[in-house]
Structure 1
Amino acid sequence: MSTTATSPRPTDNRTETSGLVAAMAAYAHAPLGGLSPQVSELTRRTLVDTVGVAVAARNEAPVRILETTLGALPDGPATVWYSGERTDAATAALLNGTAGHALDFDDVTDVAMGHPSVVLWPAIVAAGQQTGASGQAMLDAYVVGFVVHAAVARAMDVPAHYSTGWHSTATIGILGATAGVARLSGLSDDATRRAIGLAASMAGGSRQNFGTMTKPLHPGLAARDAIFAVRLAGQNFTADTEELDSPLGYFSRFAPGADVAAALTALSGTDAFTESGINVKKYPCCYNTHRTADASLHLRARDHIDPAAISRIHVVLEPLGFEPLIHHRPWTGLQGKFSVEYVIAAAMLDGAVNLASFTDEAVQRPEAQALIEKITYGVAETPPFGPQEWEYAYSALEVETTDGVIHRFRTDVPRGDTRAPLTIEELDAKFADCLAFGGQGWDVATLREELWSVESASRVELAAMCPDAASAATPAER
Structure 2
Amino acid sequence: MTANKAVGPTEAIADFVQQADFSTVPVEVRERALAAFVDTVGVAIAGHGDGGFQTLLSTMRPELPTGRATILPTGERTSAMMAALLNGGAGHALDFDDVADQIYGHPSVVLVPVVLAVAEEVGASGRDALTAYALGFEVCCAIAATMQVREHYQRGWHSTATIGVLGATAAAAHLLRLDHTRTRHALGIAASTASGSRQNFGTMTKPLHPGLAARDAVLAAKLASNGFTADPAQLEGPLGYLAMYADSADPSAVARALGNPWELARVGLNVKKYPCCYNTHRTADAILDLVRENPVRPEDIAEIRLTLEPDGFDPLIHRRPQTGLEGKFSPEYVLAAAVLDGKIALASFHDEAVLRPAAQQLLRRVSRHESAVPPIGSGEWEFAYSVVEVETTGGEVVRHRTDVPRGDCRAPLGRDDLEAKFRDCVTFAGTGLDADKLLDELWQLETTGSAGPLLNLSASS
TM-score, scaled to structure 2? 0.96
Task: Confirm or deny that 1:35 pairs with 2:25.
Answer: yes
- Partner residue, 2:46: 56
Paired residue secondary structure (1:377): strand
Equivalent residues in 2 for 1:372-387, closer than 5 Å: 372-387=363-378
Flag the 1:406–1:81 CA change in 2: closer, same or farther, 3 A: same
CA distance in 2, matches of 1:368, 1:467: 42
CA distance in 2, matches of 1:350, 1:167: 31
Task: Confirm or deny that 1:213 pairs with 2:204.
Answer: yes
CA distance in 2, matches of 1:31, 1:70: 34
Q: Which amino acid aligns with 1:347?
A: A
Equivalent residues in 2 for 1:419-438, closer than 5 Å: 419-438=410-429
CA distance in 2, matches of 1:308, 1:146: 46
Paired residue secondary structure (1:71): helix
CA distance in 1, matches of 2:236, 2:379: 38
Equivalent residues in 2 for 1:64-463, closer than 5 Å: 64-72=54-62, 73-268=64-259, 271-459=262-450, 461-463=453-455
Q: Is the 8 A contact 1:143 1:270 kept in 2?
A: no
Flag the 1:307–1:17 CA change in 2: closer, same or farther, 3 A: farther
- Partner residue, 2:14: 25
CA distance in 1, matches of 2:42, 2:283: 24
Percent identity over paired residues = 53
Paired residue secondary structure (2:367): strand
Paired residue secondary structure (1:397): strand
Note the aligned Cα RMSD (angstroms): 1.4
- Structure 2 spans left out of the alignment, 5+ residues: none
Q: Which amino acid aligns with 2:380?
A: E
CA distance in 1, matches of 2:433, 2:454: 12
Instruction: Report how far residue 159 of structure 1 moved.
Output: 1.3
CA displacement, residues 112-147 of structure 1 (integer Å, 9 cap, x when unaligned): 110000000000110001110000000000000000
How many equivalent residue pairs? 454
Q: Is the 8 A contact 1:347 1:353 kept in 2?
A: yes
CA distance in 2, matches of 1:165, 1:427: 32
Task: Confirm or deny that 1:44 pairs with 2:34.
Answer: yes
Q: Is the 8 A contact 2:284 2:335 kept in 1?
A: yes
CA distance in 2, matches of 1:218, 1:60: 16
CA distance in 2, matches of 1:19, 1:143: 21
Instruction: Report how far residue 364 of structure 1 moved.
Output: 0.3
Paired residue secondary structure (1:416): coil
Q: Which amino acid aligns with 2:14?
A: A
Flag the 1:17–1:325 CA change in 2: closer, same or farther, 3 A: farther
TM-score, scaled to structure 1? 0.93
CA distance in 2, matches of 1:414, 1:258: 31
Q: Is the 8 A contact 1:18 1:242 kept in 2?
A: no
CA displacement, residues 275-329 of structure 1 (integer Å, 9 cap, x when unaligned): 2421000000000000000000000101112222111100011111111000000
Q: Is the 8 A contact 2:202 2:326 kept in 1?
A: yes
Q: Is the 8 A contact 2:142 2:254 kept in 1?
A: yes
Instruction: Report how far residue 268 of structure 1 moved.
Output: 2.9
CA distance in 1, matches of 2:292, 2:397: 15
CA distance in 2, matches of 1:209, 1:149: 22
CA distance in 2, matches of 1:123, 1:34: 22
Instruction: Report how far residue 403 of structure 1 moved.
Output: 2.2
Flag the 1:463–1:110 CA change in 2: closer, same or farther, 3 A: closer
Q: Is the 8 A contact 1:107 1:117 kept in 2?
A: yes
Instruction: Report how far residue 269 of structure 1 moved.
Output: 5.6
CA distance in 2, matches of 1:160, 1:434: 34
CA displacement, residues 32-55 of structure 1 (integer Å, 9 cap, x when unaligned): 434333222211110000000000
Flag the 1:140–1:214 CA change in 2: closer, same or farther, 3 A: same
Paired residue secondary structure (1:466): helix
CA distance in 2, matches of 1:67, 1:346: 30
Deviates more, 1:103-112 or 1:270-279: 270-279
Q: Is the 8 A contact 2:8 2:251 kept in 1?
A: no
Q: Is the 8 A contact 1:181 1:230 kept in 2?
A: yes
Instruction: Report how far residue 462 of structure 1 moved.
Output: 4.3
CA distance in 1, matches of 2:318, 2:162: 23
Instruction: Report how far residue 31 of structure 1 moved.
Output: 3.5
Instruction: Report how far residue 468 of structure 1 moved.
Output: 8.1
Flag the 1:154–1:468 CA change in 2: closer, same or farther, 3 A: closer
Flag the 1:34–1:193 CA change in 2: closer, same or farther, 3 A: same
- Structure 1 spans left out of the alignment, 5+ residues: 1-15, 470-478
Q: Is the 8 A contact 1:299 1:305 kept in 2?
A: no
Q: Which amino acid aligns with 1:158?
A: V
Q: 2:457 aligns with which of 465, 469, 474?
A: 465
Q: Is the 8 A contact 1:182 1:192 kept in 2?
A: yes
Q: Which amino acid aligns with 1:288?
A: N
Instruction: Report how far residue 107 of structure 1 moved.
Output: 0.1
- Partner residue, 1:12: none
CA distance in 1, matches of 2:27, 2:301: 48
Flag the 1:158–1:31 CA change in 2: closer, same or farther, 3 A: closer
CA distance in 2, matches of 1:271, 1:186: 22
Q: Which amino acid aligns with 1:182?
A: A
